[in-house]
A and B are shown apart, each in its own frame.
Chain A
């Protein structure tokens, strides 16, 4: 296990955080005027934009009788990574990400309210520094709230990894790019923290079953922490008064 070097002897991580510390999250709702809802979220150096269109009438082929069609697209700007990407979307990784996004967000949206309709959620990663998926889920939640789409709860995503310190396992919350690249386990959880349910769980690399619970609970704690931050952002945004979309100027 490549654990030991992820934590210093003082118990600090490679970027100076403590094991249970999130990266700084800064976010803003209503960045754009044209989409029905939009949000920008920074999680450390990972920067993500999300836009929501809809609900609108669904295309005939997609239309569902009993619920809304959630359509997600994940794309990464060509300059978002260290090495230049050739295609912003359409590759396997982004398609997988789009599916995972849909999975997590459908769990949060009250889909039964809008039969025969469609909600488009587009996320654009401007800068990727680890945990792009988590940032995307969090940004998309804010954009959905900005669009006024009824949600069951906040959908928050957080990742967790594990390191060893003095022979004791120590889970790390909100994994950055350096820690991801170090090759340890990365457990990504998208959950609805206020209901305690899990919308999506994904794990890469191997992890002993004995340690699964600690890593998992650390990730869930991260989700709860993120929910508090998102909730505050939403409240602040609403306290500002009318959003760009709601301003009535005749």
Chain B
């Protein structure tokens, strides 16, 4: 909540500070004494964050004040991509213009870090989650009508849109009875200006390679279901991932959205017959609804485990991310039973790894890695069950009552 603090009148140069923490107020008062300026008010819009970073605020205020003194127009906007550490500071200048400052990095004091590390140690994080809990997410399938299957997922501030397109292709000679799948990641400049032009290519390539590896195994996604005519024709799935907003934990969000989009994908029924000369004749049904669904129950989910202290957490918040030096990404196959109706009673198969990847500058002890991986399996299982439940419910709603599509209008 915003607290209104009494205005300190110092002969025209008043600095009204609306903040909760006395410390910050002190700092701002100090600053206003140093510089004879006319800032009307400074307010701090603090998103997802429990503490202010005094150093950063000081730096910004100095910039503001200097800017006002030196030139008449001030517009600084300090932003940094790939973070949900979005701290805004709004400054109202004497001529009633509102300046917004977005603070770049998030700096935590050692005490705060200790608080977070201890919380993780006791499996009770600062926002009340356990170490394997995700933040709430929104998922909607069938949002792009030009694609065979699509899904949009929003996890905290991360927004991902996935579209699956199908094409007929010739199978590769070494796998004549299998279809193909290709991943393409596009980092939209909407997410951060750093992605403009070819700026996001490296990140995009990293994610698409990771997905390609995770889906490579036949136990992850059975590509035989994409075969039309052995050795001659097969389906090729283009999974196009569009990253619209980056708020951390990108890999997990992307893998969830990909699985949901594949679940939503409809492939038309095609009859194939071998003609003379080895040509294949394809016959497509006239009815556009004459299509089959893919069996994607075992498609892998990527779980990012962030090492904090000796333990690991999934889906780290911005504060937690800054306490960690390394994270492990594991790809774990799903539980196919969950994706058919009434399949809960059947015996569950254990998840298998399809890929392991590490990111970050730090290193990891083998024992920690082992713990992390086993924790990843548990997290992936819970996540997969939740996803299956949501997807089945959505499909049911689609069948029974005409579902109202929200898209981005919600």
Interface positions of A (Cβ within 8 A of B): 26, 28, 31-36, 38, 40, 42, 45, 47, 49-51, 53-57, 71, 73, 75, 77-82, 84, 88-90, 113-115, 117, 120, 122, 124, 126-129, 148, 245-250
Contacts and interface: CB of A to CB of B under 8 A. Distances in A.
A250 B196 contact: no
- Size bin of chain B's contact surface: 35 or more
Contacts, number: 146
B266 to A, nearest CB: 14
Contacts of B76: 56-57
14 contacts: A31-B408, A33-B47, A34-B81, A34-B192, A34-B246, A54-B77, A55-B75, A75-B186, A88-B186, A88-B188, A88-B242, A114-B75, A126-B161, A250-B19
Nearest to B261: A79
B186 A80 contact: no
Nearest to A45: B145
Top 3 nearest A-B pairs (CB, nearest first) are A79-B163, A56-B77, A40-B408
Given A34-B192, A122-B189, 20 more contacts: A31-B408, A34-B246, A40-B409, A53-B193, A55-B77, A56-B75, A75-B186, A78-B184, A80-B144, A114-B73, A114-B75, A115-B73, A120-B189, A124-B188, A126-B161, A126-B242, A127-B144, A127-B145, A249-B45, A250-B2
Interface string B372-410: 000000000000000000000000000000000001110
A81 B144 CA distance: 10
Contact of B238 (A47, A54, A73, A78): A78
Contacts of B367: none
Contact of B45 (A47, A78, A128, A246): A246
Interface string B1-37: 1110000000000000001100000000000000000
Given A36-B100, A75-B188, A81-B146, A49 B47 contact: no
Nearest to B164: A79
B144 A126 contact: yes
Contacts of A56: 75-77, 79
Contacts of B77: 36, 53-57
Nearest to A81: B146
Contacts of A45: 145
B191 A34 contact: yes
B240 A77 contact: yes
Contacts of B165: 78-79, 84
A153 B19 CA distance: 36
